[in-house]
Structures are given as C-alpha cells and as structure tokens.
Structure 1
Amino acid sequence: MREAGTPGAARRVNDPAGLVRLLSAGDRIYLPGAGAEVPALVDALCAASAPPLHITGAFVPGINPVPVERLPEGSIWSSPFAQPAPSGSQAGGRLRHLPMSYGAFASHLRGATFDVGFVHVSPPDANGLCSLGIAVEFTPIALQRCRRIFAVVNPRMPRIPGAETFALARADAVLELDTPLREYDVGTPSPQASRIAELIAGFVIDGSTLQVGLGKTPDALMRIVADRRGLRLHSGMLSDATRLLADGGSLDPRALHASCVHVGTAAYYDWLADRADFAVRACDYTHGPATLAGLPRLVAVNSALSVDLFGQANLEMLDGRMISGVGGAADFAQAASLAHDGVSIIALPATSGRNAVSRITARLDGVCSLPRHAIDVVITEHGVADLRGLAVTERAERLVAIAAPEHRGALQDAWKDIAARF
C-alpha cells in the first residue's frame, strides 16, 4: 500500500486506453463515482481488449450507470448501490451490492486493499497540489489502500478551496484529459413535489442545518426555504438549488457548508470554483458519527420507495428488484433522530406508477433500509405524519391518514388484522 505523500515515478499516457493497458487481469481497482466519474475511462474498461478486473466504487443510480453487461467476462463490480442491471447480475456474482451506508462503506474501505486507485482532479497549483473539486466522496480513503495511483487531470474540474487535495507527485500514471464532468439537472419541480416540499419547509427554521438528497422535492424545498436565514448545509450531495440559498443570503456566512460531492449542471460547477464557503470532504468526515452529532438543529430529509404502517422505510427495492442503496440516508436519519433538536424526515409521493399503487403499505414490499426508530416524520402530498412519541397503533393511524384517500380503507383493514395479533 502507498503511504500518503510518497512520490511516484509518474508515467504519462495519452488516452484512457493507455491507463487500462497498465492494468493486469484480476487487479482490484477503486473507481470514483458521482461527478468524479470519467465516462471515457469506463468505456475503456469495457473494451474488448480490457482485462477482467475487480472494480469497487460508489456509482450512484441515475447519475453513474454501471455497464454490467459490457464488462469483460470475469469482471466483478462491488458497490454500496445496486443498479437497475440485467436480472441475475447479483446472483451470478458480476454485481456485488454491499448493503452499507456511506459511513459504513467508508469504514469498509479502510480495511480494503487495491492494486490501483483512480483519482479525477484539477490541474496542479504551483505546489503540485490538485483539487478533487466537486467529488471527494471515498477517494482519499481508498487511495491510502492502493499500491499504485492513476490520476486523470481535467481542466474542467473546478478548484474549490475547501475541497480535499491530491499531490500529483503521488501518481504512478497521469492522463491529461479535457472532458465534460457528469451533470445532473433536476428540471422543473412538479406540483406534487412542490406540495411535499411546502410541508417539509415547516420543519426548517432559521439556524437549521439542512441535509437533503437529489431530486425534484429537495430542489423545491431549497427554493421554498430561501426566506430563512442562518441556514447551514451539511449533506452527502448538494446541487444547483444551493446557489439560490447562497446568492439570496439564506446561508450562515460564518459556516463552512459541507458535502462529500456536488452534482449539478456545468454552470453550477463554474459557480463553485474558487468559493471559500464550501467544504468538499471525504465521507468518513461528512457521514461520521462524531461530525453529525455536532450539527445544530439537523433536519435530515430523505426519500423512500415505500413506508409501512410501522414507520419503516424501503429505499432500495422496487417490484422485487434491487435498484439502489441506502446511501447516506441511514447515517443522517439516525443522527437527526437522536439529536434533541433534530428531526429525521422521510418524504415520498403517496402513490406511484400508472396504477397509482400506494407507497404507504401495510408491510414493506422490500428490505427495511431505515428502521422505525430512525424516522420521526413521514410526509406525502396528503399531509404530515409526525410519529414522535407515539405508540405503535397511533403511528399506524397517522400514516394511514397521509396515504392517498382511495387506499386508506384497505390500509385500515390490513392494520386491523396486523394489530389483532399484538
């Protein structure tokens, strides 16, 4: 393993295929995800001439597609996220979904070993330090466990003063590549998302620390709370709506607003460059228990695929298929629910699909991603179920009340059968 700061004899290559040619069959490699993904490198890893590899990385569903069907025969992809991959990908061993939160995955990486770790950075400054820019996530942790490090130096990666850095002298191979960064555009919030966001906003007061995920509801929420003051941001991911809060004076000017990644549009990345009020840190800090325990008035807002009448949430399975992972939701939800001034919120539409299937269910139709003791409040467009301090039956009554009206009768009947056994 490479010790931090150990200089390497860097080999310069001309394209992603040149980096892949330096790999050997069976190598264990770490590949950064989110905005640090290099799509051209992923394509090179899937080329006919590429060797089979054991790849580990946190590719995020909806942002970083995992090309399971294109990987060379014998390759294995390990990630804390499942992906909408061909049926049998997990059973066949090609896709290894590690059911871990971001905090747990960070701990897992500290005990792993890799033959090669990839890093995607800005050009170096006068001291030879490159910025990890918009996406730090697990990279600094993984690089400490790598025998060799391959660096992709991209002039489009913004230099953010509060982002972690990488000394280019540590690299064993360097590719200079001018390529667009992964983008995420949430689009216009729907009326449903805006209604849910309005209800969430009632829990966000001046001086709150806000954690949100990605999507139309978090984006709408950030717009609605733009009239608050002294807000702090501490999240796994931040996106374009962050700019609205900053430019509108909603953010606490004394705070350093932290995340492990930023995922948004190219215009947002340009805006982030050289800003000193944002920290982009590794997940062992952003999702670490000690860090989260020190956040004042933490409002953790996460989404789910379904919530049952016990108040448990499924964030990972849909129609019997694993399509995602718990991500950082488990770390933030637990921290917010334990904080005396915090609140853990799950927000979701009341129904899904063309048949308007209820997402408030009698029992979970997937795994329990978040236990009931880590969820304080559940919100749909039909209302707020504040579950704090309630008994089991009282919680069920409140959850039925925020289901879609056409599903409430069936849920009440199902709960009567469940509760009769208590």
Structure 2
Amino acid sequence: MDFTELYAQKKMTADQAAALVKSGDWVDYGWAVNTPVAVDAAIAKRLPELEDVNFRGGILMWVPAIFQIEDPAAHMTWNSWHMGGIERKAIAQGFSFYSPIRYSELPRYYRDSSDPVDVAVFQVTPMDEHGYFNFGPCASHLGAVCDKAKKIIVEVNRNMPKCLGGTENWVHISQVAGVVEGSNPPIGQMAAAGAATEVDLKVANLIVPQIPDGACLQLGIGGMPNAIGNLIAQSDLKDLGVHTEMYVDAFVDIAKAGKITGRHKNLDKGRQVYAFGAGTQKMYDYLNDNPECMAAPVEYTNDIRSISAIDNFISINNAVDIDLFGQVNAESAGIKHISGAGGQLDFVLGAYLSNGGKSFICLSSTFMNKKTGKLESRIRPTLENGSIVTDTRANVHYLCTEYGCVNLKGLTSWEKAEALISVAHPDFRDELIAEAEKLHIWRRSNKR
C-alpha cells in the first residue's frame, strides 16, 4: 500500500475536521501535550452553532480555544480525567467536571464502556515510512481511545518528540479519518521546578537514605519529589531503574548523572518505563527517539501486578493533608477540587507488595491558609468536610514531613495517631493530642 497516497487522500484543513463535530457528540482531546491546537481553534469557531458537545481530556498545559468562547457552558462540557489549574478555573465557570477513576483503568473504560467516542482529535508526530503516527510522550490510554473512536483526526506537529515504546504508542494512517497539518507550535511545557525549599530538602534527606542501590523509582509531580530526584542525582546511589506513571524532569537529571541503568529490574530490564511525560524541553529532547525510554499504556505502567513484580520498588508522592486515622487526601481542599485520583493508590499498593519495596507520602507539616492568613497543620484530626480519601488508612506505608518519616503500616489507631503527631509541627502537637483523645484514639500512657 502506498501510505503517501493514502495520506494525501485523508489530508484536510482544520475547519474541515471541525465540521465533523456535531451537537451531542463526545469528542476526545487526548492527553497533556497531545491536546490539539489548530483543530481546537477551528472547533471553537464552530462551537457557538452547537450545543451539548462533551469533550474529554486531561492534564491541560494551555487554555484550549474552546474554553475561551462566549458562555462555553451553553454549548459544551469539559470532562477531565485529571484536573490542573486551568481546569479548576473552568469548574467555577460551570462547564468543567472531573471524572473520578483510577488512571490505570482508563484503557479498559474506553474499550468496555457504552459511552461513545464520536470524534478523537489529538497531536501526533509526522507519519513515518510505515504509515504510523507516534503519540509522543503520551502512550497513556490513547491506543484504547483509537480503538473506540468512530472518527480519528490526527493533527501533525513536527515538534512532537518520537517516543519509543512497547505497544499502543502509535496510530496507523489506515485507522484515521483525517490528517491535519498543524502550525507546529512548541510542545506544551510545564514550568521548570523552582529551587527546593528548606522543607523540601529536609524531607528529601529523610527519604533518600532509605533508597537502596538497584531500586526502581516512581516520582510524582511537585516540589518535594523533584527535590528528592535532585538529591538522588547528587547521591552515591547506582544502578537505579525507572517505572513510573509520569516522566518528569528529575529523571533526566538522575539519568545524566549516571545513576540509572535499570540492570536490576525484573521487568523491562534496562528501560525507563512511563505512561506519559510532561515537563520542559530538556525532557522532551531526552525522550525523543531514545531506546532506553519506553512509553507504555497506563494499564501496564500502573498495574499493581507490574509494580509489585519489580524488587525494591520506591514510590514517592505528594499529598494535601492526612488525618489522625491515616487517611490521605491528595485531591482536594475540602470541596475545592485540586487534582485527581491518578495512580497514587496503585503505586502505594504495588510498592508495598514489591520485594523490599516502600511507598512514601510526603507533605509539609503546615500551610498558610490564604483566606484566614493563619498557619494550619496538614496533619488534621479528621479530614475537612468534602475532602477526598485518595489512600485509605489501611494502605499508607511511610508518611514524611520535615519533622520525620514514620511507618504507619499495621499500627493500631492509637499508635498511628501517636506516630503522625510525632511528625506534626510542634506548635500543633498538643492540640492534636487533645483532639485524638476526643476521637478515642489516644492512650493516656502515651508520651506527651
């Protein structure tokens, strides 16, 4: 088959692609850096003529044009698999909603659900000589989206890195309904992490000594995981591996410092495995055509069975707050939405099942409440009304603040309360003890 001829037959303008979207359709916008640009702008021009168009996507890295039309709520909903700052603002405008799900379940959801995907449109690399468009750093669940979609529109961006993988990191020209040659904008970037705070460094210095040579790493997004990654890059650790949900800049620094070989990995020996990447250009350049790095479907990267099969798996993630029962909230501030379930629970469970594995939940002991101007504890008697339990009290392994790192696994309720209070900010410990007594999870024999 002449793929070049097929490409020419399917080539269309962004406006022609937008014309395929009808009222009532479910339109998938891909994920993170794959979010369309040229077709998005064309759909935004058309959207005021339509109603009840339902978009799906997540990890938005720029404000889509469809968000910027007049009264978007009258014409559309944005249904996010994982919220960020852009989407949080859209919630207040009445057209953005979160779809709670474990990230690892997305491919199966697309394949098994009765919900349609009328049109899927996302950015890809240019077609190769075999007729394939690469998904770039977001294998994630896009293979499953393509399996389900009635019409697939690919928007070609020559700046998209070609990310090698195992399976489901591409779509073939024979599968697509249309090819739009976009304006080749720069790939969406996350701001480079700022300098680590004193708290970040204290937490990092508590965790890094607990990582053995040959460990396999998963790092979440945020200041603390980044600080830990930087400290690992400067450490004497060697022969580390990577198996993660999100590939972040810190992994590039660790790899370039010669710390990553993956030679002790039980799965995918020698390869850095990830579901999606979002960071700076430095990271995209590193991932581009790099055979050491493996873009894979999230149902593989985040599968507890994959994680637990790798010895000495070390999982490091952030949280918003935790209560004295050990319930971790990593998604909201009360009813105010912040993030999503993501894969944190999968990695907490999988790391503990790994031979020698550990999972760490990290947070600063306090935060400044912008509404009241007062310093408040992130270790609370109970979670605030409406807060989401991301990791249940039965699942948390290590909890770390700048005041210490405690192993909560298997502790009784009073032991757990005591351990958590021991790493709370000293100014809040007496108050937390008093609240623990009211909750009947404090023994009088405990040290005060």
Is TM (by shorter chain) over 0.5?
A: yes
Query: For residue 175 of structure 1, what is the amino acid of its counterpart?
Result: V
d(CA) in 1 for partners of 2:430 and 2:262? 49
What is the total number of aligned residue pairs between the two structures? 410
Partner of 1:362: 381
Task: Give the deviation of 1:268 after TM superposition.
Answer: 2.2
d(CA) in 2 for partners of 1:400 and 1:326? 26
Are 1:234 and 2:243 matched, yes or no?
yes
d(CA) in 1 for partners of 2:82 and 2:252? 28
Are 1:174 and 2:183 matched, yes or no?
no
Per-residue deviation, residues 316-364 of structure 1 (Å, max 9, x unmatched): 1114312221111121112122334221211011111242211110101
2:89 maps to which of 81, 85, 88: 85
Change in CA separation of 1:368 and 1:85 when aligned onto 2, cut-off 3 Å: same
Partner of 2:353: 338
d(CA) in 2 for partners of 1:399 and 1:39? 46
Task: Give the deviation of 1:95 after TM superposition.
Answer: 3.1
* Range 43-52 or range 179-188, more displaced: 43-52
d(CA) in 1 for partners of 2:300 and 2:246? 14
Runs of 4+ displaced beyond 6 Å: none
Per-residue deviation, residues 196-238 of structure 1 (Å, max 9, x unmatched): 1221212211111111111221111111112311111111111
1:165 maps to which of 167, 170, 173: 170
Are 1:276 and 2:291 matched, yes or no?
yes
Residues 366 and 377 of structure 2 are in contact (CA less than 8 Å); yes or no, is this contact kept in structure 1? yes
* Range 263-272 or range 48-57, more displaced: 48-57
Are 1:75 and 2:65 matched, yes or no?
no
Per-residue deviation, residues 83-129 of structure 1 (Å, max 9, x unmatched): 4235666xx6x433222110133332222331111232111221112
Partner of 1:104: 105
Partner of 1:183: 189
d(CA) in 2 for partners of 1:300 and 1:287? 12
Partner of 1:22: 20
Task: Give the deviation of 1:421 after TM superposition.
Answer: 9.8
Residues 56 and 81 of structure 2 are in contact (CA less than 8 Å); yes or no, is this contact kept in structure 1? no
Residues 34 and 64 of structure 1 are in contact (CA less than 8 Å); yes or no, is this contact kept in structure 2? no
d(CA) in 2 for partners of 1:265 and 1:212? 16
Q: Which has the higher helix share?
A: 2
Per-residue deviation, residues 250-276 of structure 1 (Å, max 9, x unmatched): 112542111111111113212221210
d(CA) in 2 for partners of 1:87 and 1:162? 35
Residues 351 and 404 of structure 1 are in contact (CA less than 8 Å); yes or no, is this contact kept in structure 2? yes
Query: For residue 239 of structure 2, what is the amino acid of its counterpart?
Result: G
d(CA) in 2 for partners of 1:298 and 1:253? 12
Q: Look up the SS of the partner of 1:103 in the other structure.
A: helix
Partner of 1:133: 136
d(CA) in 1 for partners of 2:194 and 2:40? 27
What does residue range 109-258 of structure 1 map to in structure 2 within 5 Å?
109-112=110-113, 113-162=116-165, 164-177=169-182, 178-184=184-190, 185-226=192-233, 227-254=236-263, 255-258=270-273
d(CA) in 1 for partners of 2:8 and 2:290? 33
Change in CA separation of 1:19 and 1:253 when aligned onto 2, cut-off 3 Å: same
Q: Look up the SS of the partner of 2:294 in the other structure.
A: strand
Residues 100 and 327 of structure 1 are in contact (CA less than 8 Å); yes or no, is this contact kept in structure 2? yes
Residues 80 and 101 of structure 1 are in contact (CA less than 8 Å); yes or no, is this contact kept in structure 2? no
1:303 maps to which of 314, 318, 339: 318
Partner of 1:288: 303
Partner of 1:56: 56
Query: For residue 272 of structure 1, what is the amino acid of its counterpart?
Result: L
Task: Give the deviation of 1:140 after TM superposition.
Answer: 0.6
Residues 350 and 358 of structure 1 are in contact (CA less than 8 Å); yes or no, is this contact kept in structure 2? yes
Partner of 2:3: none
Are 1:31 and 2:29 matched, yes or no?
yes
Partner of 1:408: 429
Q: Which runs of 5+ in 2 are unaligned?
A: 1-5, 264-269, 444-448
Query: For residue 187 of structure 2, what is the amino acid of its counterpart?
Result: L
d(CA) in 1 for partners of 2:8 and 2:157? 20
Q: Look up the SS of the partner of 1:346 in the other structure.
A: strand
Are 1:318 and 2:322 matched, yes or no?
no
Partner of 1:4: none
d(CA) in 2 for partners of 1:47 and 1:383? 54
Query: For residue 405 of structure 1, what is the amino acid of its counterpart?
Result: P
Residues 109 and 142 of structure 1 are in contact (CA less than 8 Å); yes or no, is this contact kept in structure 2? yes
Task: Give the deviation of 1:294 after TM superposition.
Answer: 1.4
Residues 223 and 244 of structure 1 are in contact (CA less than 8 Å); yes or no, is this contact kept in structure 2? yes
TM-score normalized by the length of structure 2: 0.85
Q: Which runs of 5+ in 1 are unaligned?
A: 1-6
Residues 33 and 64 of structure 1 are in contact (CA less than 8 Å); yes or no, is this contact kept in structure 2? no
Change in CA separation of 1:47 and 1:305 when aligned onto 2, cut-off 3 Å: farther
Residues 35 and 122 of structure 2 are in contact (CA less than 8 Å); yes or no, is this contact kept in structure 1? no
Residues 225 and 318 of structure 2 are in contact (CA less than 8 Å); yes or no, is this contact kept in structure 1? no
d(CA) in 2 for partners of 1:310 and 1:367? 14
* Range 343-352 or range 117-126, more displaced: 117-126
Change in CA separation of 1:397 and 1:253 when aligned onto 2, cut-off 3 Å: closer
Q: Look up the SS of the partner of 1:202 in the other structure.
A: helix
TM-score normalized by the length of structure 1: 0.90
Q: CA RMSD in A?
A: 2.4
Query: For residue 394 of structure 2, what is the amino acid of its counterpart?
Result: H
Change in CA separation of 1:228 and 1:10 when aligned onto 2, cut-off 3 Å: farther
Q: Look up the SS of the partner of 1:81 in the other structure.
A: coil
Query: For residue 165 of structure 2, what is the amino acid of its counterpart?
Result: G
Task: Give the deviation of 1:393 after TM superposition.
Answer: 0.7
d(CA) in 2 for partners of 1:130 and 1:356? 50
